[in-house]
Structure 1
Amino acid sequence: MPLVRKIVCGAALASLGMAEVAAAQDPVCLSEREVTSLVTYALPVVMEGAIKTCSPQLSPQGYLSVQGPSLVQRYAARKSAAWPEAKAALIKLGGNDDKMKDVVANLSDEALQPFAEGIVSAMVMKGIKPGQCKAIERGARLLSPLPPENTAELVTFILVLADKPKVRGAVGATKKSNLPICPAA
């Protein structure tokens, strides 16, 4: 699920006002719980962006058109509770620039949240190709019976699986992650 990984990572980086995560001597990584908080916080914005982007490609009687807004509301109900840990994860991804981390950490939630949400929305709308809309609608329909917390956990689970290094013939071959997820303890 590279689009979700790009969205979560991009939101984290952009909300801190940085083009990329600075390479640290001790690499920074996020726990699965921190990733779940980011996903929980971003999920309503991601769904809204997908609905806006895909509406011209899908039936006005389709799932996203009819049920999408209520799904966004269900996901949004958990946003506030996820924000403190999501914000901490965003700050953690800030790299080595302590001044930037301090600036972001001291911003009010009222200032930081709309910025983070705007970046996520723009990334979703830019990242979705018209040919992906039917699959996105199907995925949303399949996930809709799950409680929002299970949806966020499932997305995190998929991100963790997708983050595993791919070994292609070389022993110990690894790939660089767009979203640094800590190895399970």
Structure 2
Amino acid sequence: MTDPRKLGMFLGAVLLAVTPHVASAQQRCVTEAEVSAMTIYAVPSMVKSLQSRCAGRLSSTGFLATRGQQFAGRYAALQTTVWPRAKSGLLKIIASRTQSEAAIRNQNTRGLDMIGNLPDEAVRPFVDALIVQELTPQIDLANCSKIERAMQAVAPIDPEVSAGLVGLVVGLAQPKDISICPESGQ
């Protein structure tokens, strides 16, 4: 599958182009709750990417073919609720990049300035499409069935619980490319 940090940076670049003033006001570290929100927000697009990329490699009676839409729907039902926190996390990821990366990012996102005044309801479908566009070609075809099995294993778990676990694991792992905020004794 793809590197979630690269996808997060890409989405953050898009969101930064849409609302650059928000990123400068935000703290630089990403909370575990924001990681969880980004996870919930991205799952429906991830399912769509996997279905598209792996269509010829997976069984027509397998999990994605028979229950993939239902699985994605459980997460999609939460997208509106988690969007503000997901957006905040993505903006922080981009804001934390180095100055040289910022110069490249600004050059590559100038064409997105026109959507800066659009409401989130107009921007979100664009972000969703970009997730699919960027993620689909990065899925290793040799991993299609493994990813499908992982989704099937997670499917019975409540989306908030599974995304919370992702946030916790990322917080424990402390990836180099993303600054995770220290726990505040929640």
2:126 and 2:180 map into 1 onto residues whose CA distance is 24
Counterpart of 2:33 in structure 1 is 33
What are the within-5 Å matches in structure 2 for residues 134-145 of structure 1?
Answer: 134-145=145-156
2:120 paired residue among 90, 109, 114: 109
Matched residue count: 164
Q: Shift in Å at residue 55 of structure 1?
A: 1.6
Counterpart of 1:120 in structure 2 is 131
2:180 pairs with 1:181: yes
2:181 is paired with a residue whose SS is coil
2:34 and 2:119 map into 1 onto residues whose CA distance is 20
2:74 pairs with 1:74: yes
Report the AA paired with residue 133 of structure 1.
C
Q: Deviations over 1:8-50 (max 9, x none)?
A: 33222233349xxxxx9x9811111111111111111112211
Q: Deviations over 1:98-148 (max 9, x none)?
A: x99xx7774311332122112211122021010111110110010010011
Structure 1 vs Structure 2 CA RMSD: 3.0
Q: TM-score, normalised by structure 2?
A: 0.74
Q: Shift in Å at residue 63 of structure 1?
A: 1.0
Distance 1:82 1:105, change over 3 A: farther
Q: TM-score, normalised by structure 1?
A: 0.75
What are the within-5 Å matches in structure 2 for residues 146-185 of structure 1?
Answer: 146-164=157-175, 176-177=176-177, 179-185=178-184
2:52 and 2:173 map into 1 onto residues whose CA distance is 27
Q: Is the 8 A contact 1:7 1:124 kept in 2?
A: yes
Report the AA paired with residue 5 of structure 1.
R
2:3 and 2:92 map into 1 onto residues whose CA distance is 22
2:29 is paired with a residue whose SS is coil
Identity %: 31
Report the AA paired with residue 184 of structure 1.
E
Report the AA paired with residue 157 of structure 2.
L
2:143 and 2:50 map into 1 onto residues whose CA distance is 10
Distance 1:137 1:79, change over 3 A: same
Q: Is the 8 A contact 1:8 1:42 kept in 2?
A: no
Q: Shift in Å at residue 156 of structure 1?
A: 2.0
Higher relative contact order (CA 8 A, sep 6+): 2
Q: Which runs of 5+ in 1 are unaligned?
A: 19-23, 165-175
Q: Is the 8 A contact 1:49 1:121 kept in 2?
A: yes
Q: Return the structure number with greater helix share.
A: 2
Q: Shift in Å at residue 159 of structure 1?
A: 2.6
1:16 is paired with a residue whose SS is helix
Q: Is the 8 A contact 1:15 1:115 kept in 2?
A: no
